[in-house]
């Protein structure tokens, strides 16, 4: 997978997060993780179909997810990762991925579509994305660690 | 629904005749025809159609200019482009103008009629999808299990899965894109998947990767077959599936905050298989 494929997603992430209550969204590091990744906490899963196919996963620990949702809800206390917090996190995933499609379109990759987000909450889990290699981007969003996994492949049109 | 009244705009006499015949065969009434901008508004205002089919390339004012004039004259006018041209720029321009749909020439009669019906009653197709969706996905799973393993299968419909579902071990998620986007979740235990691999390969599985790969492939086939079946019911669904993502963990909670899921449990000789399906309503009538 061409590493440049993640640029529209990084652009989207850093553009959307300040619009939903965050001061900063900084990219910390990028790594290649193969098709399998371990998770512990909350994942937002969104599929993508078009010239690029695959999935984007946004992951964070359960505590980070509560903290993240609280920030999105203007500092409201989030003691439990309840349905309101779940909805907030999944809406963030939806906005980031929908905006990423717009960014891809600006980069000449148009016609991409996304599925509605699904949330997975688990411990010591393993996810296998439908691509040989996944790119993991570590972000620090107002001191909350967020991982974005990009597993996309280009399909011949 | 009463008879749909259509006006046909095309500079070619042959095309107008062909489209008009197609519409009549589909049960519509052709209430007006126009070959250019000159007669467009007068014909429209006289016949007051439910919907207008519009060619793009015409001498003088093209289909876009004619559509703008029609929408200025009647902002509620519903226009479908019917043209041999179909590229991204043309589609984008049509969307910007406010054109409701797009069908490529040569016209597929069934598709044109479906697009017209969907524009005039946008919820009908979604309601059909919700009514048929789970049964069709169940059927696709049943077909594959019985064909591949020669074992029986039956279904127990669950209450709509609105809050969360706790994984039995292996969860496959497939995104669905099209007129209505959605998701399919298939979930089963590692033991059930192991037993299935043993029947399929006629030997025990070598490792977990082999088992996960089989589950991913089964989900991929089920989603692909089911979406093809739905597309055959109505081409305007235009459903396509993403490749599967597989999650392995016991007790992972799966939550669909923005999408109501319908779900069933397939009872198989290997163990229960959970199948969850959900589609977003959306309002697209674009084809």
Looking at the complex, report in whole angstroms how far the Cα of residue A123 sits from the nearest Cα belonging to chain B.
7
Q: How far apart are CA A151 and CA B216, in angstroms?
A: 15
**Residue A124: closest CA among chain B residues belongs to which residue?**
B249
Question: Does B5 have pLDDT greater than 80?
Answer: yes
pLDDT band with cut points at 50, 70 and 90 for residue B170: very high
Q: Which long-range contacts (CB under 8 A, 24 or more apart) does A81-89 make?
A: A81/A42, A81/A121, A83/B163, A83/B257, A86/A119, A86/B255, A86/B257, A87/B257, A87/B258, A89/A42, A89/A44, A89/A65, A89/A119
Do the Cβ atoms of A139 and A68 come closer than 8 Å?
A: no
**Chain A CB contacts of B255 below 8 Å:** 86, 90, 118-121
What pLDDT was estimated at residue A59? Answer: 97
Decide whether B5-120 matches B124-279 in CATH topology.
Answer: no
pLDDT in tens, B53-98: 999 988 888 999 999 999 999 989 999 999 887 777 788 788 888 8
Q: Does B201 touch chain A (CB under 8 A)?
A: no
**Looking at residue A108, what is its pLDDT?**
85
Contacts of A57 in chain B (CB under 8 A): 245
Phi, psi of B68 (to 5 degrees): -60, -45
Is A114 part of the contact surface with chain B (CB cutoff 8 Å)?
Answer: yes
pLDDT at B249 over 60: yes
Domain range annotation of chain B: 5-120, 124-279
Q: How confident is the model at residue B260 (pLDDT cuts 50, 70, 90)?
A: confident
User: Nearest CA of chain A to the CA of B23: how many Å?
Assistant: 30
DSSP at B270: T
| CATH code assigned at A36 | 3.40.1550.10
- What's the whole-number mean pLDDT along residues B163-191? 93
- To the nearest whole Å, the CA of A18 is away from the closest chain B CA by 23
Find the length of chain A.
157
pTM, two decimal places: 0.81
Mutating which of B87, B243, B253, B287 best tests the A interface, going by the most A Cβ atoms within 10 A?
B243
Q: What is the pLDDT of residues B205-239, one digit of tens each?
A: 999 999 999 999 999 999 999 999 999 998 888 89
Q: State whether residue A126 sits within 8 Å of chain B by CB.
A: yes
* pLDDT value at residue B161: 66
Give me the residue from A119, A124, A130 closest to B245, CB to CB: A130
State the residue range of the domain holding A21. 3-154
Residues of chain A with pLDDT under 70: 1, 156-157
Per-residue pLDDT at B16 exceeds 90:
yes
Average pLDDT, chain B: 91
Instruction: Say yes or no: A151 contacts chain B, CB-CB below 8 A.
Output: yes
Q: Domain B124-279 falls in which CATH fold?
A: Chemotaxis protein chec (3.40.1550)
Strands B253-255 and B245-248: unpaired
Total domains in chain A come to 1
**Domain B5-120 grouped into CATH 3.40.50.720:** no
- Is B167 near chain A, with CB under 8 Å? yes
């Amino acid at each position: 997978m061409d590493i440049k494929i993640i640029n529209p997603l990084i652009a989207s992430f850093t553009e959307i997060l300040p619009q939903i209550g965050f001061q900063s969204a900084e990219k910390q590091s990028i790594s290649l993780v193969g098709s399998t990744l371990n998770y512990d906490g909350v994942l937002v899963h969104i599929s993508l179909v078009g010239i690029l196919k695959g999935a984007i996963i946004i992951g964070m620990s359960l505590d980070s997810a509560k903290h993240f949702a609280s920030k999105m809800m203007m500092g409201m206390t989030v003691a439990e990762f309840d349905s309101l917090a779940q909805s907030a996190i999944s809406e963030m995933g939806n906005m980031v991925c929908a905006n990423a499609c717009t960014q891809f379109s600006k980069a000449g990759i148009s016609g991409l579509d996304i599925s509605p987000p699904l949330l997975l909450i688990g411990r010591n889990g393993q996810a296998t994305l439908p691509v040989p290699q996944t790119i993991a981007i570590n972000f620090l969003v107002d001191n909350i660690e967020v991982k974005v996994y990009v597993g996309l492949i280009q399909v011949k049109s | 629904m009463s008879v749909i009244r259509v006006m046909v705009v095309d500079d070619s006499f042959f095309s107008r005749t062909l489209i008009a015949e197609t519409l009549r065969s589909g049960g519509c009434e052709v209430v007006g025809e126009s070959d250019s901008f000159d007669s467009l508004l007068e014909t429209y205002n006289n016949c007051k159609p439910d919907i207008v089919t519009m060619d793009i390339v015409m001498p003088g004012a093209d289909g876009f200019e004619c559509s703008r004039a029609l929408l200025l004259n009647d902002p509620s006018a519903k226009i479908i482009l019917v043209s041999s041209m179909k590229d991204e720029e043309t589609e984008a321009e049509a969307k910007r103008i406010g054109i409701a749909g797009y069908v490529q020439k040569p016209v597929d009669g069934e598709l044109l009629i479906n697009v017209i019906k969907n524009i005039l009653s946008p919820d009908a197709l979604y309601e059909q999808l919700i009514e048929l969706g789970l049964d069709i996905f169940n059927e696709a799973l049943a077909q594959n299990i019985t064909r591949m393993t020669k074992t029986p299968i039956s279904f127990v419909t669950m209450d709509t899965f609105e809050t969360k579902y706790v994984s039995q071990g292996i969860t496959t998620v497939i995104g669905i894109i099209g007129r209505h986007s959605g998701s399919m979740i298939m979930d089963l235990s590692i033991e059930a998947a192991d037993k299935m691999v043993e029947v399929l390969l006629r030997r025990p599985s070598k490792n977990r990767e082999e088992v996960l790969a089989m589950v991913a492939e089964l989900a991929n086939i089920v989603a692909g077959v089911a979406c093809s079946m739905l597309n055959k019911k109505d081409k305007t669904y235009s459903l396509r599936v993403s490749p599967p993502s597989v999650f392995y963990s016991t007790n992972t909670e799966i939550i669909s905050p923005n999408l109501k899921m319908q779900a069933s449990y397939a009872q198989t000789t290997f163990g229960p298989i959970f199948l969850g399906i959900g589609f977003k309503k959306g309002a697209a009538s674009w084809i």
